[in-house]
Structure 1
Amino acid sequence: MLIALPLLLIPVVLYNIVILFGATGGGGMAEADAILRDPLFSVPMTSGANWNVGVGDLILFLSLILLFFELLKSTSSQKVAIVNHALSLIVFVVCLVEFLLIRGFATSTFFLILAMVMLDVLAGFIVTIIAARKDLDFGGA
């Protein structure tokens, strides 16, 4: 049943931990942006520039990887996939509420995570509908 859990819940939880527990003050926008953008490490590039990688960048990178696996999972027609779609929809609603109502979540990083969760929900439902339609077509022949 663990396979039914949406993988994009991981970056959402990580973002919540970083913002809610990493903010020492009131958790305002400036502090949230600083936490996400402050470089964890820097990579020297061949051009002579330094590529600064922050917490927000790492969370987004993880989100993209997990979105790929979520899209692969959405192509399965198992009964677990329907539970996964429903849980993904719940994660989307929670993310949307956080983005709109909680200070510190109205950042570009969280918006992109929200967009990935929304794409996961849409892709899951669309793939399920198309697969069900194909099953119906084959059944009628």
Structure 2
Amino acid sequence: MLAHIPLMIVPFILYNIGLAGLFGDLSDPWAADVFSVGMLSGGTWTMTIADLFVLLALLLLFVEVLKATRTSNASLLDHMLSTLVFIAFLVEFLLVERAASSLFFILTAVAFIDVLAGFSISLRAASRDVNLR
């Protein structure tokens, strides 16, 4: 049953935990630097918590796309749950003032791509399973 839980719920939950102030600074918890690396060019590359969120969302999107390639009876449930997660992202983005940020918009866009990719891949795989002879 855990395999059917949409993984995009993880960034959604973590973002809301951060909004609740459990990660520290209430003003902008996503701006904190995680690490900095001096580059050969002389510049400094800095990774923030927001950057890590985007990276996490992209990695989870990759796993969700791999999950979408499975053809089973439960794939419809997976797509419905992913759609509900996207709707939750969209509603929160539109209605919650502190969710009106570029980070949350990017997470919402990744959830939307998850929904589109899931349905597209499943339809493509299902069309291969149908034999019209």
Relative to the length of structure 2, the TM-score reads 0.90
Relative to the length of structure 1, the TM-score reads 0.85
Q: Share of identical aligned residues, percent?
A: 39
Amino acid of the residue matched to residue 78 of structure 1?
S
Task: Work out the number of aligned pairs and report it.
Answer: 133
Q: Give, in angstroms, the shift of residue 86 of structure 1.
A: 0.6
Q: Does 1:74 align with 2:74?
A: no
Q: Give, in angstroms, the shift of residue 102 of structure 1.
A: 0.3
CA contact (8 A) 1:44 1:50 kept: yes
The alignment partner of 2:40 has SS state of coil
Q: Give, in angstroms, the shift of residue 41 of structure 1.
A: 2.0
Q: Does 1:52 align with 2:46?
A: yes
The alignment partner of 1:3 has SS state of helix
CA distance in 1, matches of 2:88, 2:78: 15
Q: Which has the higher helix share?
A: 1
Gaps of 5+ in 1: none
Q: Does 1:37 align with 2:34?
A: no
CA RMSD in angstroms comes to 1.8
CA contact (8 A) 1:42 1:52 kept: yes
CA contact (8 A) 2:17 2:23 kept: no
Moved over 6 A (4+): none
